[in-house]
Structures are given as structure tokens and as C-alpha cells.
Chain A
Amino acid sequence: MYTLPSKLKLFSIIIMVLGLVGMTYGFLTTPKTIEDVKEIMAAQEGHHSEGHEVAGDGEEHTANFVDTARGEEGYSENAMEHATDLKPEGHGVASHEEHLLHQLQTRPWSATLVAAFFFMMIALGVLVFYAIQFASQAGWSPVLYRIMEGITSYLLPGSIIVFLIVVFAGTHFFPWQNEELVAGDKILQGKAGYLNFPFFVIRGVIYLLGWNLYRYFSRKNSLAQAESNNYASYRKNFKASVFFLIFFLITEATMSWDWFMSMTPHWYSTLFPWYIFASMFVSAITVLALTTIHLKSLGLIPFVSDKHLHDLAKYMFAFSIFWTYLWFSQFMLIWYANIPEEVTYFIIRIQEYKLLFFGMLILNFVFPILVLMNSDYKRVPWFVVIAAVFILVGHYIDIFLLVMPSTVGHNWYFGIPEIAALLFFMGLFIFVVGTGLGKVSLRPKNDPFIKESENYHF
């Protein structure tokens, strides 16, 4: 039996409290009126003579930088207008200050969503990995079932929080929820059949129900299997896993459209859902490996050997490459064709987030491929931990880049709201997962493949 070490428990509570304070601070200190924004701008102008885009001087910078970049390439203004005018304020409708005010008010929301989704997707990704193990009748992984179940215990609180954020964020995230904007935008009117608030909420509820119900029943069956002397519960789990995977494949796509792609409602990419899935999956396996190493270091899982760790590290390695493959496919195809409607997505990310955008590739691809190539290293716990830290930081940045450029644009910082949200959700994750792991014995008994898994060599 595992109990969350008291120091770790205390640590998680402390960072949760710190995070909560920081997040509150973030929400309370957003500017309330245009006057506040003007003050901020004046203050910043005092600090740097020519600094961040924020300090731009009204008139010339009202058109956002994308337009400027496009103008240089000779696109007509009309052609770019509908493609780049992604913010509710729009061209000429409101002033630069109003636009800025909105972005600054959005910042704590975005900071919270990034961290909240990052930890939720880990739990969800582990749940998918778990379902795949059942559906494929894996012989190596049953020893890890209880660990996976422990991690997925975060799914229920995590997914509810993310759901609440996206439902209550309103126009902070989703310009299509601004009725005035939709009234003046033909493209958004065309999408209203999908992008409307009631349907958006209903879809969110369906995702939550589907994912959490599978989590609940698979855990129940898995525990029942330990008490039984036939394989009835196992068979139920097998079936449930297959159907969950189908459900997930579909809802993951719509979830990505709803919660992320519709932040820039004019933009679209068909690969987008699968790209998010790759990020989710590799982070999840990484956390599974970290948790396994933690439990192993406490001596609680003698039946898990370094061969199992080797396999997990191989998955980290392979899915890092897979993520890069999808990242590159999406990026290269949009870069290559350079269609104005589509390139806006990458122009803002490259122009305003250059270091993060390309740095993420080093963390998510170059490091894992170099560190985890050697098969001996994949069995060395501290080595895997190093790779895991790279991967997790890299995929946090990935989610950051998914949200921030679409919501706060070039007014991004990595400051108190971002760090606080990260701390809070990390604390919550550690606490919930630690408690979840401690509920039952870590050795799944009576699974049909458990003996194969314990005898597993590679």
C-alpha cells in the first residue's frame, strides 16, 4: 500500500495555497478600464524607450502586426481583413486600447487554462494508454495498471475544472461568443451551427461524462477482477476499453475544435486534433514513467522491473518523434502553401513567441531523441527522469503556445499568473494522484496477463 509521503503531501498543499494566492492576485490586478491600460502603457513607455509591441504608439499600430507583415508582402487590405481580424474588437470598431484591455483581462484566464488543461490531459492521456493496454491484450503492462488508475483519478476534478474554465471564459477565449462580432462577420455566422454556446456546453458535458464514466467503470472492473476467480470483469473491461477508444477518437477531435481551435474561429487545420492528441499522449506516458520511478524508489513495486521502465522510455522516445512528425506536418504544409487564411496561426507564433516556438522543438524532439536513443540508458531511472523533465517542460510550452497567441496575442508574459496556475494545478495533481494511488494494493491480482507481465524480460 502506498501513502503519499507526508513531505510530498505538505509540499503539494503549500504550492496549492501559493498558487491559489497568485492566481487570485492575477485576476484582481487586471486593468478594469481603458484608463488603466493607458497608465500601464505610459509606465512601460517610461521604462523602455522602444520596447514591446504594447508600447506601440496608437495610430500606426492599430492594425496588428500580422497585417503589417502581410502588407509588406503585397496582400490587399480587404483580403487580409477577415483572415487576421480574429479579435472581437476588430478593425476600426474599437481603439487599440480597448483591444489591449481585453487581452490583458484575458491573461489570467489563459494562464489558468494552460495549466489546468496540461494536467488534465496527462490524466486523460494515461486513461487512453490504459484502454489501449486492455484492448491490445498487452502482456508487459498489467503490473502498471494500478499506477495508471492512480494517475487517472485526477481526471474527474481536472476535467471539471477545465470544463468550468472554458464555459465561463466566454469572449475571453472565444470571439464567436460575442454576438456583436458575429452579427458583423459572415464567416462566423456560417459557423454558428456548430459554434454556439448551448451546443458548446452540451458537447463539453458529453466529453466529461464519457471519459469519466469509462474511468469509473474500468477501475471498478479492474478492482473486481482482483477479487474474482474468473475473467468476467476482465472481459468487461476489454469491451469497455474498445468502445472508450472509439468514443475518445471522436470526442478528442471535437474537444480540440471546441476548446482550442475556436479561439481563433477563422482559422482551421484538419490535423489539429491529432496534433493535440500526440502532445497529450507523450506527456501522459512520461508522467506514468515518473510515477513508476517514484514508487519503485520507495520499494513498493518490486514486481516492476527495469524492463518495464525500458518499455515506458521507449514509448516516450517514440511518441516524442510522433509528436514532432505531426507538428512538422502541420507546420510545413501551412508554411509551404502559405494561404493567407491559414498562415496567421504560425505568423503570430513565430514573430511573437520565437524562442518558445523553436525552443519547444529542442525540448520535445532533439533532447528526447538524443537522451533516449541508447537502450541501456532507458533502464537508468535518473536518466529517464532527465528526459521526462525535458518532455514535460516542452509540452507545457506546447499548450502555452496553443492558448496564449490565440487569446492574449503579443501581450504575453511568463509571470505570476502563469507560475501560480502551474503551481496550483501541480499541487492538486500530486495530491489527488497520491491519494488515488494509496487506496488499494498496487499489485493487480488475477489479471489474466499479470503473470506474463511479472515474468517479463526484454
Chain B
Amino acid sequence: MSSHYEAPIREPLVLGEKSYHDISVDVGAPILGKANKSWWIVFTIALVAFLWGLGCIIYTVSTGIGVWGLNKTIGWAWDITNFVWWVGIGHAGTLISAVLLLFRQKWRMAVNRSAEAMTIFAVVQAGLFPIIHMGRPWLAYWVLPIPNQFGSLWVNFNSPLLWDVFAISTYLSISLVFWWTGLLPDFAMIRDRTNSPFQKKIYGILSFGWSGRVKDWQRFEEVSLVLAGLATPLVLSVHTIVSFDFATSVVPGWHSTIYPPYFVAGAIFSGFAMVQTLLIIMRKVSHLESYITVLHIEYMNKVILLTGGIVTVAYAIEFFIGWYSGVPYENYTYLSFGAATGPYWWAFWALIICNFVVPLTLWVKKLRRNIVYTFFVALIINIGMWFERFDIIVVNVSKDRLTSSWAMFQPTFVDIGTFIGTIGFFFVLFLLYARTFPVIAQAEVKTILKSSGESFKRLRAEHGDD
């Protein structure tokens, strides 16, 4: 793609004396080896959480939505909060794999595989909520425009909730295809390296007979670019459509035109925080420190700073226009004096502290290159972005136009249990992925080894660039 020349001022992306073979060995190790004790412990915990959440879901569906803490005023709370939160987390994966590909960012190659996996697993969690928050989920198929025996009764295409159905299902399918295409050469590598006949069989099926011919690679790259070009507007539109769920309404605080780009920025912000959380652990336990370097973490922190800055400016705009509009109802929206001092003051300040104050510290170079510190900031951002969605959804509707219908929201154990269940399910999937999939796109990393590898950069420094 781009030229092999690289300015010496750029820091290396692959550390140590790595050869192509070393990369294959390092990436293949977790798959070809055995899981250790701590993997099993973590997996068990995640599985238990998942099963507990499954119980909560079954209980909800069989008993009724009334087991949640919703009331007549607040008809959406944890369900949609978690939905938007999970969808948002998924967005970083597509950003890393598609947008950064379009911007030719070489550093994406070490993180894109896991980020895309995270996307898919997060969208799966998100996809649960639109179903389980229905009063009659067994009629969910009615949202699809299929010819039927009711005189061909169709859906109303004016509802953003219907657009959500199309957005999320398209998003999941495109992400899956994009991810799988990228996996073909890596599955083939595992297929060729394993000694177990069982694994050979499985990875032989998964890799679709990839043999790595010139023509294949040519088409592979073209498909990747086309899919990246399609996935970029997709990633913007998906979270835009999620934001339309609120912005098309007439609820004060929800009806705001900035929501589309602001939600997208927030999604990237929270998504990158989740990537940091996962990769900081993964690079350690899977011994991938040479590939996911401090530089990668710093770059991701810079993206967090950028999107966090955009989100902060959007907060300021919301706050300002709330005042500027002169509409009295705007004083009860999630970003207003009313919210800062009202019954949900703690949620307001959680949002401000977690999403604005704490990420500001990343402006300090020392802190943004500090791995442990980054890990905690990323966790805090994940919490903060959950609060952002909670505030948008609950605070705005808790005090709407009629004072007689003002209400507060109190989650029940089922609300909380379901959320914990999705976290468990997410980690079950992610842990299984980490043991069976090549977590770094080794084929891609090999393409930058000679331009951005530490040892090759040193050689060039010693012997000249040309």
C-alpha cells in the first residue's frame, strides 16, 4: 500500500528482534498451547455471571417487564442504557479496523483483530436488549416487513426503533464478514502450524482453503478497502440511528440535533476505553508486549483524548443551548443546572468526573504512556459513558413537562442481574475467542515488520535509508 520508506522519527511498532517466523509463533502460541488455571477461573466466573443473567432474562420474559424497576414515567432505563452502552462499545472495533485502515494507520494492525472481536461480542450483548425489553418478545418477528396472513400487515418505517433493527442487524453482519475475511490468512497459518489432526480439520474449514496466492492477496486487499469504505459510513450511521431513538422525540433533553455526531464520538470514546481495558490485560497474559506496545496504548489514549474532547464540547453546547433556548423545561435535562443540583446530582457529577475530569489527565505524556494508569482511566471512562447514557435516558424523562408525572427510577435486582449477565456473556465469548482465534492479525503485522519493526529500523539507521 504505502511506500516502504518510513521517517526515522516514527517510533517502532514491533519491538525486539522479530522475524516473520517469530510472529507466527507468538500469535499461534495461545491457540496451540493449553489454557492455564487462571483462564479457567476467570472463565468460570464469567460463565456463572452469564448463567445468572440468563436466569434473570428468563424470569423477566416469563413473569413480565414489571419485575424491572420501570414505572409509567420512566419506561426506558437500564435496558436501553445497557443497549446504547454496548452498541457504543462495539463502535471502536469498526473504527480501528475500517476508519484507521482508510487513514492508513499502521498501528491499527496489532489491535484490529481484538477490537473487531470486541465489536461483535458487544453487538451481540446489545442485540439482546431490544428483544428482552419488549412486553411480548415472542412477537418480535413482527418488526420485520414480511408478507403475512393479516392482509400483509407491514411495519411503519417512520420509527427509529425499526431503523435500529436494520442498523444493528446490518452492522453485525457486515462486521462479521469484515472480521472473518481478515481472519482467513490467519486461520490458514494456524491450520498449517498445528500438529493436532482435530485442529487441522477445524482450521481447515474455518480458513476456506486459503492458500495465499498473489491473486488472492490482491483481491483480499481490495475487498478490505471496499468493506472499510462501507463500514465507515455504517459505523457513523448505526450510532446515529441509535441516537435518533431519542433525538426524534419531543422530550426536552432528548430532542437535540447534535445527538447524531455526539453519540458517535461518545461511542468511539467508550469503545476505545474498552479496547484499552481488554488489550492491556491481553498483551500481558498472552505475552504480546512486542506487538501491542506502549506506543499503541498511547495512540489509543490520543484517540480517547480527541473523542473525549469532542464529547466535552458537545456537553458544553448542550448545556449552553439548554440555557440559550429559554425553554423552562430545559432546566431539567441531563446537562443543566437542574440536573447538577437535583435528585440525580450524583449521576450528573459521575458523568462530568468520569468523562471530562479524569480523561483530562491523559494530556500528560507520562500518564498516557503509563499502562497501569491507562487501565484505570479506561475503566473509569467505561463507567462514565454508562452514566452518560443513564443520564440521557433517565434524567431527561424523570422530570418531563407535567410535574404530576415526575418520578424517580429504582433498579431491581433483575435489572442489575441482566446487565451483569451480559457482561458475563461478553467475557465468556471473549475468553473463548482469546484461546481459539489468532488475536493479532499476523498477516498484517508481517507487512509492516520491515518498515516499522524495531530491529529493521535500527538497521536502517545504521546503514542508511535507501
Contact = CB atoms under 8 A, between A and B. Distances in A.
Contacts of A273: 317
A87 B328 CA distance: 23
A458 B324 contact: no
Interface residues of A, dominant DSSP: helix
Contacts of B2: 139-140, 456-458
Contacts of A339: 250, 255
B321 A268 contact: yes
A49 interface: no
Interface string A317-360: 00001000110011011101101010000000000000000000
Given A334-B257, A339-B250, 11 more contacts: A139-B2, A139-B7, A190-B326, A270-B321, A274-B258, A326-B261, A330-B257, A337-B249, A452-B3, A452-B6, A458-B2
A191 B324 CA distance: 6
Contacts of A139: 2, 6-7
B260 A187 contact: no
A333 B313 contact: no
B80 interface: no
Interface string B308-335: 0110011011100100111100000000
B256 interface: yes
Q: Which 8 A-B pairs have the closest CB atoms?
A: A270-B258, A271-B257, A329-B260, A448-B9, A336-B248, A187-B326, A271-B258, A190-B326
Interface in B287-343: 309-310, 313-314, 316-318, 321, 324-327
A329 B313 CA distance: 18
Interface in B273-288: none
A110 to B, nearest CB: 23
Interface string B454-466: 0000000000010
Contact of B7 (A187, A249, A250, A448): A448
Contacts of B321: 268-270
Q: Name the interface size band of chain A.
A: 35 or more
B100 to A, nearest CB: 11
B107 to A, nearest CB: 11
B1 interface: yes
Nearest to B106: A139
B95 to A, nearest CB: 15
Nearest to B4: A455
Nearest to B225: A375
A449 B313 contact: no
Contacts of B6: 139, 452
A449 B259 CA distance: 37
Q: Which of B5, B10, B237 has the most CB of A within 10 A?
A: B5
A455 B465 CA distance: 12
13 contacts: A186-B326, A187-B326, A191-B324, A191-B326, A194-B324, A269-B257, A271-B257, A325-B240, A329-B260, A333-B257, A448-B7, A452-B6, A455-B3
